């Protein structure tokens, strides 16, 4: 854990964190406004697997892949997934450093608070597992197994849970920083 703390402490300069934040959100925006809508155009209103934070089941996957048709599944595999193979790395690194930046400002970049920095890394790893699962499902369709679907769905849910807990933690850290800053200003 000390190596992680040292790494974060040496990389939380405001400009570096801001540049990473912008790059990460440009990639995310590209997915939201280009690759996801392009794929969803074939989905007839159905949500893509990586857009279902509460999970899905075997029947949903079969229905989605039937609805997408050959062309939609190809676009999912060749347009959405490649961009989503870049994003988890950026998300994990950037949001680890974002919360690390604020923890350092509060002088609490140490255990147990540093565990908040690990959450986006867990989310990024889960996103990769989800992506590999989706690739497997797309490549084996129509011969899907319940195990493949369930493992992919568990990765989707782990991504969702770790991301949600992270953002709750980030909001908490920002509230504490805001309150601390207000008291500091009021004393002047």
Contact between residue 94 and residue 20 where contact means Cβ atoms under 8 Å apart? yes
pLDDT of 178 over the 70 cut: yes
- Cα angle for residues 15, 19, 25 (degrees, 5° grid): 145
21-31 per-position pLDDT tens digit: 999 999 999 99
Residues 84, 31 contacting (CB under 8 angstroms): yes
pLDDT at position 181 is: 87
Q: Is 161's pLDDT higher than 90?
A: yes
Give the domain range for residue 60.
Answer: 2-187
Amino acid 61: pLDDT: 97
Distance CA 106, CA 173 (A): 9
Question: How many structural domains compose the chain?
Answer: 1
**Residue 27, pLDDT score:** 98
């Amino acid at each position: 854990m000390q190596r992680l703390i040292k790494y974060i402490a040496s990389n939380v300069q405001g400009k570096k964190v801001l540049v990473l934040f912008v790059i990460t959100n440009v990639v995310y925006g590209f997915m939201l406004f280009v690759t996801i809508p392009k794929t969803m155009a074939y989905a007839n209103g159905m949500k893509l697997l990586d857009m279902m934070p509460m999970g899905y089941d075997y029947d949903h996957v079969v229905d989605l892949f039937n609805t997408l048709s050959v062309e939609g599944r190809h676009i999912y595999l060749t347009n959405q997934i490649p961009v989503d193979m870049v994003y988890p790395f950026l998300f994990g690194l950037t949001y680890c450093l974002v919360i690390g930046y604020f923890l350092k400002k509060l002088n609490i970049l140490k255990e147990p608070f540093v565990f908040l920095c690990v959450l986006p890394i867990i989310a990024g790893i889960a996103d990769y597992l989800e992506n590999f699962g989706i690739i497997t499902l797309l490549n084996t369709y129509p011969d899907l197994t319940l195990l493949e679907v369930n493992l992919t769905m568990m990765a989707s849910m782990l991504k969702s849970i770790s991301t949600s807990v992270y953002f709750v933690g980030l909001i908490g850290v920002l509230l504490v920083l805001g309150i601390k800053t207000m008291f500091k200003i009021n004393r002047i």
